[in-house]
């Protein structure tokens, strides 16, 4: 689409329209229409589950047994024991918060079983006062919540392949999840340690067998980072860093160090494995880009997507997620004709910075072939690029930070394929 092409409120020949659900002329009801006498019968029959008292109380709730397909897809690798990923089934979820049990996982050496009574956090290096905290000490500090996404820098890397992968969306874009993280603003503890003027970096280290560590510029540490103790209202799950985790809103997953045990203030970055051999990117020039911390704006249509089938003609709700590591999402446009025309989707409130934002748009499908796309714009004016634009800039053989527009091709039969269009 050329830059000067006008933005259309109604796109795809009137088929994508925010007001579709309100138009009375369209038959959009998907409920089966029933005659009054049938209704009376339905009222008389009591389903099996209505004929005796239900199950007793439970100490910790579980999803319905009918939802057993809504699971993380796990994928280990042979590099080290406990190294691998599990993916969030984004194609099955709604709203903006990822349930803790479905938040994606990325571990380098498994999940440590940490006794919170023995866990300590050390702050040292270029400080005037080294400090050690127990979890009980930390729990006495004032806390704040941050609703934010975490996305692995390697998320969506299958989209660098020359052929579009045919997998459920969550199982190649689901290294991104969103939680309410509650904990202590990092700047409070840094102020207490009296950081020396020469300190420019903070090296954060985890208490897992990998002792994963990364370097974080001090400006960000003083800005909006949190030492999280709670996730979605309860103590952080072991997989996500129990009992203490560094949250670095909007920045790539790897800097959000789990099982946090040490913060070392220094003048230089540490040049750890995960910021040199990994999470750096080779550019077409042959040079590597390093410390590409911010996750750029991205959006995905989660429903319908690969694996769904449109069984009937009529009205559908396109639903998806958008996010940006630079701030708020201000606009998501949806196209049903492969990007020739675009309509603006409704953003579900609240729209928060560095957080998943849910967008929705009604769509009328009458058996026409279609290519569905979504395109996010953030508050800095950054617009999510088309795939060819991203490849031209970053080369054909990237691995990290893939954020191009995703396209779903809908066939005349209602089947959905992933395409590069």
Which stretch in 103-111, 121-129, 268-276, 377-385 sits in contact with Mo ion by CB under 5 A?
A: 103-111
Q: Looking at 43-51, 116-124, 205-213, 372-380, which segment touches ligand MTE (CB under 6 A)?
A: 205-213
| Comparison of 236 and 310: residue with beta carbon closer to ligand MTE | 236
152 touches Mo ion (CB under 5 A):
yes
CA 58 to each of CA 61, 62, 100: distance values in angstroms, whole numbers, following the listed order: 6, 9, 18
Q: Give the list of residues 6+ apart from residue 395 with CB closer than 8 angstroms, or none.
A: 282, 283, 284
Query: Closest by alpha carbon to 100, among 208, 241, 252, 205?
Result: 241
If one asks whether residue 210 binds ligand MTE (CB under 6 A), the answer comes out as yes
254 binds ligand MTE (CB under 6 A): yes
Return the number of the residue (210 or 391) whose C-beta is nearest ligand MTE.
210
* Contact between 91 and Mo ion per CB under 5 A: no
Strand partners, 303: 319
- Phi/psi of residue 177, nearest 5 degrees: -150, 170
Residues 6+ apart with CB under 8 A from 102: 70, 71, 72, 88, 89, 93, 177
Which one of ligand MTE, Mo ion, none is in contact with 240 (Cβ closer than 5 to 8 A by kind)? Answer: ligand MTE
Single residue of 87, 147, 259, 400 touching ligand MTE by CB under 6 A: 259
Least separation in angstroms between CB 254 and ligand MTE: 4
Q: Is 171 left (phi over 0), alpha (psi -120 to 50) or beta?
A: alpha
Smallest separation, CB 168 to ligand MTE (Å): 18
**Smallest separation (angstroms) from Mo ion to the CB of 86:** 12
Min separation Cβ 212 and ligand MTE, Å? 4
How far apart CA 88 and CA 408 sit, in angstroms, is 19
Give the SS3 label for residue 364.
strand
Q: Does 104 bind ligand MTE (CB under 6 A)?
A: yes
Could you tell which of ligand MTE, Mo ion, none binds residue 170, using a CB distance below 5 to 8 A set by kind?
A: none
Q: Does the protein bind ligand MTE through residue 152 (CB under 6 A)?
A: yes
Please choose which of ligand MTE, Mo ion, none residue 216 contacts, taking the beta carbon within 5 to 8 angstroms, the exact cut-off set by kind. none
Beta strands in 52-143 (DSSP E): 73-76, 84-87, 105-107, 120-125, 131-134
Contact 378, 327 (CB under 8 A): yes
Q: Which one among 72, 102, 105, 341 touches ligand MTE, defined by CB under 6 A?
A: 105
**Least separation, in Å, of the C-beta of 90 and Mo ion?**
16
In the complex with ligand MTE, the residue whose CB is nearer, 92 or 258, is: 258
Q: Are 158 and 261 in contact (CB under 8 A)?
A: no
When binding is defined by CB under 6 A, the residue of 72, 92, 106, 401 that contacts ligand MTE is 106
Instruction: Give the sign of the dihedral formed by CA 338, CA 339, CA 341, CA 346.
Output: positive
Tell which one of 240, 328, 331, 373 touches ligand MTE (CB under 6 A). Answer: 240
- Is residue 258 part of the contact set for ligand MTE (CB under 6 A)? yes
Under the binding rule (CB under 5 A), the answer on residue 362 touching Mo ion is no
Which of 91, 92, 103, 106 forms a contact with Mo ion (CB under 5 A)? 106
Cα within 13 Å of Cα(185), Cβ side: 10
DSSP summary character for residue 161 = S
Q: What residues make contact with ligand MTE under the rule CB under 6 A?
A: 103-108, 150, 152, 206, 208, 210, 212, 239-240, 253-254, 256-259
């Amino acid at each position: 689409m050329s830059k000067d092409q006008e933005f259309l409120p109604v796109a795809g020949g009137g088929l994508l329209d925010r007001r579709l659900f309100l138009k009375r002329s369209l038959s959009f009801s998907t409920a089966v229409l029933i005659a009054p006498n049938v209704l009376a019968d339905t009222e008389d029959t009591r389903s099996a589950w209505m004929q005796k008292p239900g199950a007793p109380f439970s100490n910790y709730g579980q999803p319905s047994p009918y939802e057993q397909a809504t699971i993380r897809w796990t994928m280990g690798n042979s590099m080290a024991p406990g190294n691998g990923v599990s993916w969030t089934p984004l194609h099955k979820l709604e709203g903006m918060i990822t349930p803790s049990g479905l938040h994606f996982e990325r571990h380098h050496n498994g999940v440590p079983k940490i006794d919170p009574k023995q866990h300590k956090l050390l702050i040292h290096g270029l400080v005037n006062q080294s400090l050690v905290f127990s979890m009980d000490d930390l729990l006495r500090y004032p806390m704040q919540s941050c609703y934010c996404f975490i996305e692995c820098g390697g998320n969506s890397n299958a989209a660098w392949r020359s052929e579009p992968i045919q997998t459920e969306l969550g199982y190649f874009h689901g290294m991104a999840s969103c939680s309410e993280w509650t904990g202590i603003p990092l700047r409070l503890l840094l102020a207490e340690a009296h950081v020396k003027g020469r300190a420019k970096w903070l090296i954060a280290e985890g208490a897992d067998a990998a002792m994963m560590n990364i370097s974080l510029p001090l400006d960000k540490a003083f800005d909006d980072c949190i030492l999280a103790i709670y996730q979605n209202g309860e103590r952080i799950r072991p997989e996500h860093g129990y009992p203490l985790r560094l949250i670095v809103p909007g920045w790539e997953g790897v800097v959000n160090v789990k099982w946090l045990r040490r913060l070392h203030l220094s003048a230089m970055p540490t040049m750890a494995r995960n910021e040199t051999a990994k999470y750096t990117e080779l550019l077409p020039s042959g040079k590597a880009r390093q410390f590409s911390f911010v996750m750029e704006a991205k959006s995905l249509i989660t429903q319908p997507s690969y694996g769904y089938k449109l069984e009937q003609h009529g009205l559908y709700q396109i639903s998806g997620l958008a996010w940006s590591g630079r701030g708020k999402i201000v606009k998501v446009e949806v196209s049903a004709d492969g990007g020739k025309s675009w309509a603006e989707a409704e953003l579900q409130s609240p729209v928060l910075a560095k957080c998943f934002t849910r967008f929705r748009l009604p769509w009328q499908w009458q058996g026409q072939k279609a290519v569905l796309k979504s395109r996010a714009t953030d508050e800095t004016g950054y617009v999510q690029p088309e795939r060819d634009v991203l490849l031209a800039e970053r080369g054909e053989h990237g691995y990290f930070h893939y954020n191009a527009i995703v396209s779903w091709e809908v066939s005349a039969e209602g089947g959905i394929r992933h395409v590069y269009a």
